[in-house]
Structure 1
Amino acid sequence: MSRLGDFGSSGRPPRANPPIDDIRRTKEASMRRVVMLIAVSVLGVALVVAAGALLVPWGDRSPASRETDPIAIAERRLERLPNDWKTWAELGLAYVQRARTTGDPADYPRAGKALDRSLAIRREDNAIALTGLGALAAAGHDFPAALRHGRAALAVDPYRAAALGVVADALTELGRYDEAFATVQRMVNLRPDAASYARASYTWELRGDIGRATDAMRRALDAAPNPADGAFARLHLGQLAFGTGDLDTAAAHFTEGLRLLPGHPPLRAGLARVRAARGDTTGAVAEFRAVLTAVLEPAYAVELGDLLTATGQPEAGAREYTRAREAWAAEARNGHPPEPDPVLFAADHRDPAALDAARRLYTRQPGIGGADAMAWALRAAGRPAEALRHADEALRLGTRSALLHYHRGMILADLGKREAARAELETTLRLNPHFSARHAPEARAALVSLG
């Protein structure tokens, strides 16, 4: 039995070769962003650990790939057995998985239709479809609904590891960490595979144990049954390494991930960050532009804007900021719920709307991301004493995030707490001196001013 809290003296979980879960956890234009956010969240790793994906590499739709494509397999079976409720549910799950890899929003409505068809055929005791509805709700950032569907699936089948994953992800996003960690533990105990190891990794990362987080993600890599799952693990291993300032290891993981899943935007964005950190601004800008050509992810546009501004190209940077604002505004008009990235961006640029957006986010997702957004928006609004309470809340698990420590350090500086501010900013740069093209120089300047 594998236990999150009992990996042995080395912190390593036992090796296993288990069967792979049938769903793993990384709407219209807004829903495609769930998978993209695995590269750009406030923690450096997704706030939702989307542990798994499509069996077919990025962009590969060749006839040969269809032999193992779960969507093609399900569709062929449904041609012969149109009332097969299990296959309709499996088709819905496969659409969710593919959307999370490709970012194609068209797969989400397809998933919903397939899952609804499954439930229309078999309303009772349909744990597979309920799990799929939970995953679909999580993709739309409706975490209360995801939790409800996941628990309904477990009521039908308490041993469905996929449903445990949906529940754990929802609890994490809702800031209910003790419950989330216990649920991940149950998942690991039940099925120690790529999906459960990836979630175990995230629980360690949230608690600041990067060594154990890395070990668990390596187990996910060992257990990966296909290139897409291997690329997922490589992406997160790269992000864990980058978060500690280990550029060589990060680059190696991102490069290997791209070999497994060619062209995948989050992996390419990871390499862009490495190039920027190494001083290769030209290469970083070109990589970010290529990524944005493939997918207009506003957070990537902000990173490019920060890089351009920091290297003496403020007008070009402003154009990227405008592009990000317009994309986020379009998503808000389409009903996309608030997220940390646009709130932090608004606070960075002293947008008066930042605080209201932060409150909506925090009300909906009162976890680390929501608390940090509240802290930063309150600081931008000139309310550092209130901001500090939320900054403390964001770090309550001991998360080793350079950005979280930077935010707290700047708030402490605003409050005149010079020694505490200096300690936080030194921690920030010790954790990762390359954490942000915008904020890393600001952290260094603040340290100089603090003396």
Structure 2
Amino acid sequence: MHRVVHQLQQRLHSLPQDKSSWAQLGASYVELARVTADPTYYAKAEGALKNAGDTGLAAIGMGTLANARHDFTAARDWATKAIAALPSSAEAYGVLADALTQLGDDAGAQEAVQKMLDLKPNTASFARASFHFELHGDVDGARDAMQRALTAASTPEEIAFCRYRLGELAFDHNRLDEAAQHYEQGLAARGDDMTLTQGMAKVAAARGDAPVALENYRRLVARAPLPQYLQEYAELLEANGKPEEAARQYDVLSEQQRLMESQGASDDLAAALVAADRGDGMQALRRAEAEWSRRQSVFVADAMAWALHMNGRDAEALEFSDKANALGWQNATFSYHRGMILAALGRIAEAQEALVQALRLNANFSPLQSLKAGRKLAELRGGR
């Protein structure tokens, strides 16, 4: 990607009025921000895209940038503008589908994904169809669509992405060997892919090989300090009796979140979940409510449920848990949160059912929270 950026910069030095190249440069900066976990590329992307003028390609780039910054309302608006300029652009519909999914507009997202498939049935469109199936609890449909995405893949990057998503579908449903196989095949296509490295670290942790998992995470966060990776690493350290090292990673996580916010990338959702998991109920609820005011998706509904639970407001939490599970997503974390909420409400049989479901779906959904789920389930069964 650095090479692509350099080539575009060289071209623009000679042809500074080439709007298409400015749009490509902006999109490349967004991708660099993703693969390096360096949000300072967002400002560079925005500058390049502004030089691309009032074009459909520029609008697609601005929408992609807005999605990356978690400004999904702006992303939806940019995608709508892009579609008006380029009505046959599958990429524009992809930006729209991503935004609407995160905003909680399920019907709109489905329509955008279908339009994308109609226009261009390729890796990008099949991948979005896969995620839509997954959100609705159709794991087989999600897997089949992702296999079609893999069949359509033509670059090492696309192959690696598809193998990662197939690995995640397997990992999230207690199929560790299958997950590892997909991650390994992805690394064979693109050995420096950080998502696949994270996948192998998760598999090592799930198999009980803590030294390998910890070393993989150490190298991963040194290269790509994404909040998700830092949280997983911190939880793994904590679960393995290393609280001081875990605390240092949580500090790095806080710094990284502040850096992202300084670059216009809001992530109250992730911050709310981290705060709730660490027992900071007030911070968790403040962050979750801020995110809920912007978008009412199943992702944010779950964060609201968990934050309310951490504040002892379990009747309200259960209402949000109902919203989080409305689409039928088979998500172990959602089931764990629901089980803990039901337990707090004294609905023991339902709590046990939810916790069993969480562990049946993925016994390793979190290095730390999965242990807590198991302990809570044992406690509830012991009280019968």
Matched letter for residue 309 of structure 2: R
Q: What is the match of residue 445 of structure 1? A: 375
The alignment's TM-score, normalised by the length of structure 2, stands at 0.93
The aligned counterpart of 1:196 is 125
State the Cα distance separating 1:397 from its structure 2 match.
0.3
Segment drifting more, 202-211 vs 433-442: 433-442
Specify the alignment match of 2:344 in structure 1. Answer: 414
**Deviations 1:335-358 (Å, cap 9, x if unpaired)?**
542332221111122212111111
CA distance in 1, matches of 2:241, 2:318: 32
Could you list the runs of 5+ residues in structure 1 that have no partner in the other structure? 1-55
Q: 1:336 to 1:83 in 2, by over 3 A?
A: closer
Q: Distance in 2 between matches of 1:441 and 1:105?
A: 33
Q: Aligned pair in 2 of structure 1 residues 225, 421: CA closer, same or farther (>3 Å)?
A: same
2:311 corresponds, among 381, 402, 426, to 381
Contact 1:254 / 1:270 at 8 angstroms: preserved in 2? yes
The residue aligned with 1:359 is 289
2:52 matched residue in structure 1? 118
1:348 equivalent to 2:282? Answer no
What's the CA shift for 1:242?
0.5
- Bigger RCO of structures 1 and 2 (CA < 8 A, at least 6 apart): 1
Moved more, 349-358 or 376-385: 349-358
Task: Tell me how far apart the structure 1 counterparts of residues 260 and 350 of structure 2 sit (CA, whole Å).
Answer: 39
Letter in 2 for 1:414: A
Are the equivalent residues in 1 in contact too, given 2:37–2:226 (CA < 8 A)?
Answer: no
Contact 2:359 2:370 in 1 (8 A): yes
Shift of 1:311: 2.2
Equivalent residue runs for 1:30-49 within 5 Å: none
Does structure 2 conserve the Cα–Cα contact (< 8 Å) formed by 1:359 and 1:374? Answer: yes
Q: Which residue of 1 aligns with 2:84?
A: 155
1:49 maps to what in 2?
none
**Match for residue 92 of structure 1 among 14, 23, 26:** 26
Which has the higher mean CA deviation after the structures are superposed, 249-258 or 329-338? 329-338
Name whichever structure is richer in helix by fraction. Answer: 2
Q: Counterpart amino acid of 1:363?
A: S
Percent of matched pairs sharing the same residue: 42
Cα distance in 2 between the residues matched to 1:156 and 1:330: 34
Query: Where do 5+ consecutive residues of structure 2 fail to align?
Result: none
2:326 maps to what in 1?
396
Q: In structure 2, what is the Cα distance between the partners aligned to 1:317 and 1:103? A: 20
Backbone CA RMSD of aligned residues: 1.9
Secondary structure of 1:353's aligned partner: helix
Distance 1:407 1:114, change over 3 A: same
Decide whether aligned partners of structure 1 residues 106 and 317 sit closer, same or farther in structure 2, where only a CA change above 3 A counts. closer
Partner of 1:215: 144
Checking the alignment, whether the CA contact within 8 Å between 1:308 and 1:317 is kept in structure 2 is yes
Deviation of 1:243 (Å): 0.2
Does residue 241 (structure 1) correspond to residue 175 (structure 2)? The answer is no
1:104 CA displacement: 4.1
Q: Give distance in 1, aligned partners of 2:234 and 2:25.
A: 39
Distance 1:283 1:412 in 2: 36
Deviation at residue 92 of structure 1 after TM alignment: 2.5
Distance change >3 Å, CA 354–CA 103, structure 1 → 2:
closer
Pick closer, same or farther for the CA change 1:443–1:219 going to 2, 3 Å: same
User: How many angstroms does 1:229 deviate by?
Assistant: 1.3
CA distance in 1, matches of 2:260, 2:16: 36
Amino acid at match of 1:327: Q
- Aligned mates of 2:380, 2:146 — CA distance in 1: 39
For each residue in 1:42-67, what CA deviation from the matched residue of structure 2 results, as whole angstroms up to 9, or x when unmatched? Answer: xxxxxxxxxxxxxx5xxxx6xxxx5x
Of stretches 106-115 and 243-252 in structure 1, the one that deviates more from structure 2 is: 106-115
Q: Decide which moves more: 272-281 or 303-312.
A: 303-312
Structure 1 length normalisation: TM-score?
Answer: 0.80
Secondary structure in 1 matching 2:179: helix
What is the match of residue 13 of structure 1? Answer: none
1:138 aligned counterpart, secondary structure: helix
What is the rounded CA distance, in whole Å, between the counterparts of 2:63 and 2:94 in structure 1? Answer: 10
Aligned residue number for residue 225 of structure 1: 154
Shift in Å, 1:312: 2.4
In structure 2, relative to structure 1, the CA distance for the partners of 1:283 and 1:88 (3 Å cut) is same
Post-superposition Cα deviations, 1:151-191, rounded to whole Å, max 9, x if no partner, equal 01111221111111111111111111111011101100111
Report how many residues are paired: 380
Note the C-alpha offset of 1:379.
0.2
Q: Is the 8 A contact 1:92 1:114 kept in 2?
A: yes
Q: State the partner residue of 1:254.
A: 183
Q: Is the 8 A contact 1:388 1:412 kept in 2?
A: yes
Q: Which amino acid is the alignment partner of residue 20 of structure 2?
A: K
| Deviating more after overlay: 267-276 vs 333-342 | 333-342
